[in-house]
Amino acid sequence: MKSRFAIDFEQHPLLMNSPWVRTKISRIISIFFIGAFLFMFLPWTQNIQADGAVTTLLPNQRPQEVQTIIGGRIEKWYVREGDFVKKGDTIIKISEIKDSYLDPGLLAQTNTQIDAKEKSMLSYGSKVDAINSQIEQLEINRDLKQKQSVNKLQQEELKLKAEKADFSAARISADIARQQFVRDSILQKQGVKSPLDVENRRVKWQETVAKLTSADAKVRSAEAAVENAKFEVRNVTAEYSEKLSKAESDRYSALSAQMESAAEVSKLRNAYSNYSIRQGFYLITAPQDGLVTKTLAQGLGETIKEGMPVCTIMPANATKAVEMYVQPVDMPLVHKGSYVRFVFDGWPTIVFSGWPQLSYGTFSGNVFAIDNTPSANGKFRVLVAPADKEKPWPDALKVGTGSHAYLLMKDVPVWYEIWRQLNGFPADYYINKNEATPAKKGSK
């Protein structure tokens, strides 16, 4: 049913031929084309779009698994999922399962062993001191004996000289007595001397010969005494060298035993420290302030291995960032400090990608880091931090929330952007003057 105000052109064909209608239609078409032409020259902000997810800016602010350092059996839970914990709060208590550490008096026994080894080390030290004193005394005795034997050698040498002098005197006396006997024998033949005088000369000569023989024996005895004194000097040196060598050997043995005791003490102290530290691992504590999001080990009495995660903690007061992935073809256009606008899942938005100033519900950021190698999905990972002095990101934003990013590029006319999209050309590459200034300073 047609409205009564509608004009039926079929029933009134003259209306189409009316100058007034043709003028109106021409004006409308002209206005449309003029508007479309002017629209082609409006500024359009080029952008690169990429999908990503919310993460944290620093690695220590990302969700982390709390792991056990040692293996054990779960004895008690102190938290549950959703609890907020502070750094150092106890999360779980475990008990020992290795037979090497089951003894409850392990620390006391190890401490007793340390005391015994320390006393043994002290006794070896006393033994070393005693041997040092013995060596000093042996050296003193050696010096005294050497002086005594040298003095005796000198005495024997002097005695030998005296005996040699007596031997020389006895030989001269024997020669004189022989000459006197020969002379008196000649004079007795000539009748000058009596036979009694000759016999007296013979007896005297025999006495001097006997004295010469005795002097010779004494000289030989003195020479033997000198040789014995020299042997005694050498014997004293050899004897005390042997004694000193044995004492030195005993000292080195004692020093070696003392060092072995010191090494044992060091090992036992190390073991004591390890046992003490290990007992501190029975309580698994929170590494930082955060929220317990998920428990990965359940129940009581369950055995867990070393390095096994027991729960997941989301750190508090984390600086949020967006982790997005850019196509390789767009990678040369992205640089550190590039301006980015975000749309987060769950937040109402009205987006005009080409006119970001007209968008509503978007949040700003700047490129913080860029990977140099592609990820497993073939794209390059880009980390974006919140922009300073602009609208802060929502406090209720959770790590893992999806996001859609618009990396803003150069302002171009609409006709140029349409032409670029139809030809599949990438966005224009440019560098802001403010972003290029630090690079220029660095180059200088």
Whether 40-61+318-443 and 70-92+285-314 share one fold: the answer is no
Burial class, 156, CB count within 10 angstroms (exposed 0-12 / middle 13-18 / buried 19+): buried
**pLDDT-derived band of residue 42, with 50, 70 and 90 as boundaries?**
low
pLDDT at site 270: 92
Ordered DSSP codes for 55-103: EESSGGGS-EEEE-SS-EEEEEE---TT-EE-TT-EEEEEE---GGG--
Asked if the model's pLDDT at residue 11 lies above 60, the reply is: no
pLDDT tens column, 383-393: 888 887 777 88
**So where are the chain's domains?**
40-61+318-443, 70-92+285-314, 106-280
**pLDDT-derived band of residue 359, with 50, 70 and 90 as boundaries?**
very low
pLDDT at site 13: 52
Task: Estimate to the nearest angstrom the gap between the alpha carbon of 44 and the chain centroid.
Answer: 56
Q: What is the mean pLDDT of residues 407-418?
A: 64
Q: What is the mean pLDDT of residues 24-49?
A: 72
pLDDT at site 1: 45
**Identity (one letter) of the amino acid at 132?**
N
Task: Estimate to the nearest angstrom the gap between the alpha carbon of 34 and the chain centroid.
Answer: 75
Asked if the model's pLDDT at residue 39 lies above 80, the reply is: no
Phi then psi for residue 103, to 5 deg, are -60, 120
The yes/no answer on whether domain 106-280 falls in CATH 1.10.287 is yes
Instruction: Taking the CA atoms of 260, 266, 272 and 277 in sequence, report the sign of the dihedral they define.
Output: negative
* Of the candidate ranges 73-82, 328-337, 419-428, the one whose mean pLDDT is the lowest: 419-428
CATH of 70-92+285-314, one of 3.40.50.150, 2.40.50.100, 3.30.479.30, 3.40.30.10: 2.40.50.100
pLDDT tens column, 101-154: 888 888 888 889 999 988 888 888 888 899 899 889 888 888 888 888 888 888
pLDDT at site 93: 92
pTM beyond cutoff 0.85: no
Instruction: Taking the CA atoms of 52, 56, 57 and 58 in sequence, report the sign of the dihedral they define.
Output: negative
Percent above pLDDT 90 for the chain: 7
pLDDT at site 431: 47
Instruction: Taking the CA atoms of 16, 22, 28 and 29 in sequence, report the sign of the dihedral they define.
Output: positive
pLDDT at site 349: 55
Spell out the CATH class of 40-61+318-443: mainly beta
